[in-house]
């Protein structure tokens, strides 16, 4: 009788399984040890994001959104499960490889902007390019290009502390895009902004997504912000509770567009 035992998958089989997907998570768990007790922040997440897709993650406070985003961004590793980023198995990679992936492939946008206050907008964008090994002159040129794309060319010399919240988040967006990443991960990018400024920042994110076909995963509490994405994944208690497609979503002008009009890469 043939054995019912599952055969281990070959690397080729894995490759086919992850083809066309920017991110594939299988049974991802994350536990934190807090003194004597364990917090089960993620309890087995299965998730796939296509290349060039724009996904929003929603869910109540404490449901594991930031934990998931940290794992997606290789800032943390799962306690269990598999994670393939662009087909590469990252769950088992050593720290130095993870930091290379973070620098070269991922752009982060956080709620608190995370800019260096005393540095100019230009320097804040240049710094990540120089960390990636680019010369100063080239870094300056690329940084200016992205600051212009987010409408801040004229503010390049202002220090971060002299900029408004919306402007700071646009600098953070320019910084995230400057290394030409495959993924943008955003954790509540409009969390510290009023509604008018949120719309402005979302428009810029949308424009960059449309023009660069970057993959975006964005955590948000705000339904109106989630409507800029193509798909909403809802978490509850560390699990995926539900998923829905935004059949119609906002574009960079805040106009409604049909999902059929968007082509993935």
Ligand X SMILES: Nc1ncnc2c1ncn2[C@@H]1O[C@H](COP(=O)(O)OP(=O)(O)OP(=O)(O)O)[C@@H](O)[C@H]1O
Site residues (vs Mg ion, CB under 5 A): 66
Kindly report the backbone phi and psi dihedral angles of residue 249, in degrees, each rounded to the nearest multiple of 5, phi listed first.
-135, 170
Task: Pick out residues in 55-84 that bind ligand X (CB under 6 A).
Answer: 59, 61-67
Determine which residue in the list 13, 19, 32, 112 makes contact with ligand X, applying CB under 6 A: 32
Alpha-helical regions (H) of 94-181: 95-105, 121-131, 136-149, 165-178
Residue 135 Cβ vs ligand X, minimum distance, rounded to whole Å: 38
Residue 202 Cβ vs ligand X, minimum distance, rounded to whole Å: 19
Q: Other CB atoms closer than 10 Å to residue 20's CB: what's the count?
A: 14
Residue 181 Cβ vs Mg ion, minimum distance, rounded to whole Å: 21
CA contacts within 13 A on the Cβ side of 113: 20
39 touching ligand X, by CB under 6 A: yes
Closest CA to 188 of 175, 201, 179: 201
Residue 61 Cβ vs ligand X, minimum distance, rounded to whole Å: 3
Contacted entry of Mg ion, ligand X, none for residue 99, CB cut-off 5 to 8 Å set by kind:
none
Please, which residue, 59 or 73, has the CB nearer to ligand X?
A: 59
E strand or H helix that includes residue 37: strand 37-50
- Residue ranges that bind ligand X, judged by CB under 6 A: 32, 34, 39, 41, 59, 61-67
């Amino acid at each position: 009788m043939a054995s019912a035992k599952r055969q281990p998958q070959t690397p080729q089989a894995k490759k086919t399984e992850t083809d066309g997907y920017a991110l594939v998570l299988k049974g991802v768990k994350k536990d934190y040890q807090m003194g004597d007790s364990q917090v089960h922040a993620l309890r087995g997440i299965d998730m796939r994001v296509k290349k060039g897709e724009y996904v929003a993650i929603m869910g109540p406070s404490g449901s594991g959104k930031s934990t998931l985003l940290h794992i997606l961004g290789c800032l943390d590793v799962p306690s269990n499960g598999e994670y393939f980023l662009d087909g590469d198995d990252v769950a088992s990679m050593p720290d130095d490889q993870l930091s290379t992936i973070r620098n070269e492939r991922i752009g982060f946008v956080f709620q608190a902007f995370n800019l260096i206050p005393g540095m100019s907008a230009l320097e804040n964008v240049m710094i990540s390019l120089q960390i990636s090994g680019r010369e100063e002159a080239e870094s300056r040129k690329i940084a200016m290009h992205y600051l212009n794309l987010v409408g801040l060319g004229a503010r390049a010399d202002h220090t971060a502390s002299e900029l408004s919240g919306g402007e700071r988040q646009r600098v953070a967006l320019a910084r995230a895009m400057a290394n030409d990443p495959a993924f943008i991960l955003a954790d509540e990018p409009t969390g510290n902004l009023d509604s008018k400024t949120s719309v402005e920042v979302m428009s810029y994110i949308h424009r960059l997504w449309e023009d660069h076909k970057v993959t975006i995963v964005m955590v948000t509490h705000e339904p109106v912000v989630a409507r800029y994405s193509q798909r909403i994944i809802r978490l509850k208690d560390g699990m995926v509770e539900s998923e829905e497609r935004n059949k119609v979503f906002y574009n960079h002008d805040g106009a409604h567009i049909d999902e059929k009009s968007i082509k993935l890469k």
